[in-house]
């Protein structure tokens, strides 16, 4: 069975005659294929493999069909066929006039007998790396085989890892941040087979925060109602006159409000005294029958 292998190269800007080593491959995967570097010339590539239990000890051997090749692909199925359980690790390095880049190990996007099947589940505050304990290596070597889980923030180098038989929960993660993980089989604490390619997941925001906010708002409303209701009842029962005074609009009576004003086209009637009036002086009064 052929496994796809991807090796992405960083293009190096500079003079062809520069003595600096070429840029290293960034990642690689089964059926070793990689895009050629657009601005690199005279660059050749070499693929190396490591057997079932020797990768951590630094025993790497060149794959005969993939030494100093200028093409961007290499078939490594023969190397896989010779390894125990078909478990080999691969790495690729770039070369130019005797100068070599840092080798980069290959990874597999699809699980097989030598690469774990992995899926990620993101939840508020933590990430679950879903792994199965029922795999071919576990059936052969029982608990001597484990999973090594590398994890960290997206874009940052791996700084933490955890060894486990089955699924791993990574706690205390920041909401809104993307975290990544890669997994490789262990045999007696020695990495074997291709690791999985990096998978990433975004940690969602915690729902408890919004629930706490809703509860807080509800409590505040209840407290406000409990305080306002007795106050409103007191004023409605005992202070109705005061409420009426507050609601009464302001007013002002003019001084001549009850007096009828004179018409504008009439002058007021003046009372004059008659100074030249003739008056008779009555000297005495007698009864009427006497005057007859």
Give yes or no for residue 167 having a pLDDT over 80.
yes
pLDDT band, residue 80 (cuts 50/70/90): confident
Q: Kindly write down the DSSP assignment for every residue of 171-196, as one continuous string.
A: -SPPTT-EEEEEEEEEETTEEESPPB
Same structural domain, 136 and 58: no
Whether 137 is covered by a domain: the verdict is: yes
Give yes or no for residue 182 having a pLDDT over 60.
yes
Same structural domain, 24 and 56: yes
Q: What is the pLDDT of residues 92-102, one digit of tens each?
A: 888 888 888 88
Same structural domain, 63 and 134: no
Q: What is the pLDDT of residues 128-143, one digit of tens each?
A: 999 988 887 877 777 7
Same structural domain, 101 and 164: no
Same structural domain, 140 and 72: no
- What does the mean pLDDT of the chain come to? 75
Contacts with 103 (C-beta within 8 Å, 6 or more apart), sequence order: 24, 25, 48, 60, 91, 92, 93
Same structural domain, 9 and 99: yes
107 contacts 28 by C-beta, under 8 angstroms: yes
Whether 211 is covered by a domain: the verdict is: no
Domain boundary among 172, 202, 232: 202
CA distances from 2 to 13, 38, 55, 87, 222 (A): 34, 27, 21, 13, 67
* CATH code where residue 171 lies: 2.60.40.10
pLDDT band, residue 269 (cuts 50/70/90): low
CB atoms within 10 A of CB 104: 20
**Whole domain around residue 65: which residue ranges?**
5-105
CA distances from 164 to 33, 55, 179 (A): 32, 20, 19
Domain boundary among 105, 127, 153: 105
Whether 257 is covered by a domain: the verdict is: no
Between 78 and 62, residue with greater pLDDT: 62
Q: What is the pLDDT of residues 107-128, one digit of tens each?
A: 888 878 888 999 999 999 999 9
> By percentage, how much of the chain surpasses pLDDT 90?
16
Q: What pLDDT score was predicted for residue 4?
A: 43
Between 249 and 90, residue with greater pLDDT: 90
Same structural domain, 95 and 132: no
Helix-helix angle 240-247:207-238, to 10 degrees = 100
Give yes or no for residue 86 having a pLDDT over 90.
no
Whether 82 is covered by a domain: the verdict is: yes
Same structural domain, 187 and 133: yes
Q: What pLDDT score was predicted for residue 180?
A: 95
Domain boundary among 78, 105, 132: 105
Same structural domain, 146 and 177: yes
């Amino acid at each position: 069975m052929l496994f796809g292998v991807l090796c992405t190269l960083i293009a190096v800007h500079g003079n062809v005659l520069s003595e600096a080593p070429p840029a290293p491959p960034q990642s690689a995967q089964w059926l070793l294929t990689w895009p050629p570097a657009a601005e690199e010339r005279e660059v050749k590539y070499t693929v190396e493999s490591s057997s079932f239990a020797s990768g951590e000890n630094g025993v790497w051997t060149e794959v005969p069909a993939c030494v100093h090749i200028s093409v961007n692909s290499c078939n490594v199925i023969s190397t896989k066929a010779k390894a125990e359980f078909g478990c080999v690790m691969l790495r690729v390095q770039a070369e130019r006039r005797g100068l070599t880049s840092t080798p980069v190990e290959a990874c597999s996007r699809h699980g097989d007998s030598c690469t774990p099947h992995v899926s990620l589940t993101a939840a508020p505050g933590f990430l679950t790396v879903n792994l199965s304990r029922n795999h071919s290596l576990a059936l052969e070597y029982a608990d001597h085989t484990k999973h090594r889980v590398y994890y960290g923030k997206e874009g940052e180098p791996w700084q933490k890892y955890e060894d486990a038989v089955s699924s791993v929960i990574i706690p205390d993660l920041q909401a809104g941040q993307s975290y990544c993980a890669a997994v490789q089989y262990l045999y007696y604490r020695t990495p074997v087979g291709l690791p999985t390619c990096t998978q990433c997941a975004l940690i969602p925001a915690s729902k408890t925060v919004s629930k706490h906010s809703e509860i807080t708002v509800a409590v505040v409303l209840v407290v406000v109602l409990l305080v306002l209701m007795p106050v409103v009842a007191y004023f409605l029962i005992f202070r109705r006159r005061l409420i009426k005074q507050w609601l009464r609009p302001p007013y002002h009576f003019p001084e001549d409000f009850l007096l009828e004003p004179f018409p504008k086209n009439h002058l007021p009637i003046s009372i004059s005294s008659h100074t030249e009036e003739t008056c008779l002086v009555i000297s005495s009064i007698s009864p009427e029958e006497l005057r007859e």
